Amino acid sequence: MKSTLNAFLIIFGILFQSIIIGSSEELPSLSGLDNETKSSIQLACGLAKMEGPAIYGDCLRNQLSRYEDGPKIPSLSGLDNETKSSIQLACGLAKMEGPAIYADCLNKHLDSIR
């Protein structure tokens, strides 16, 4: 009886593990993205990451799709430090919503000073 129970637990563990691992897609890579885009996606998906790899993966794919279809994050390198800092602070919450919304915010502020 004990060996039957042990065999059952081993088989159950293997099946459970294969269901969990086998059913989830591989997480998309952020390796080809610039640091601003990558950090914005990571911020936007921070809560989803705590809900597990399936929900986190969905969030990453959603953010990547919105980024690919939307505006890109503009460079702030030509700005003086005060202006750059002010724009980054003004768009801090937008950055946590993902790179597409962050890019919109940055572009809006850049347009206002041109």
73, 83, 69, 79: which is closest to 103 by C-alpha? 73
Q: How far apart are CA 38 and CA 97, in angstroms?
A: 12
- Alpha carbon distance, N-terminus to C-terminus of the chain: 80
For CA atoms 13, 15, 19, 21, the dihedral sign is positive
Q: How far apart are CA 57 and CA 63, in angstroms?
A: 10
| pLDDT, position 25 | 73
Average pLDDT value over all residues in the chain: 86
Please determine, for residue 77, whether its predicted confidence score (pLDDT) is greater than 60: yes
Residue 21 pLDDT level (bands cut at 50, 70, 90) = very low
Average pLDDT estimate for 53-77? 95
Task: Please provide the size of the chain in residues.
Answer: 114
Please determine, for residue 109, whether its predicted confidence score (pLDDT) is greater than 50: yes
Please determine, for residue 9, whether its predicted confidence score (pLDDT) is greater than 50: no
In the chain, domain spans: 28-113
Q: How far apart are CA 86 and CA 68, in angstroms?
A: 26
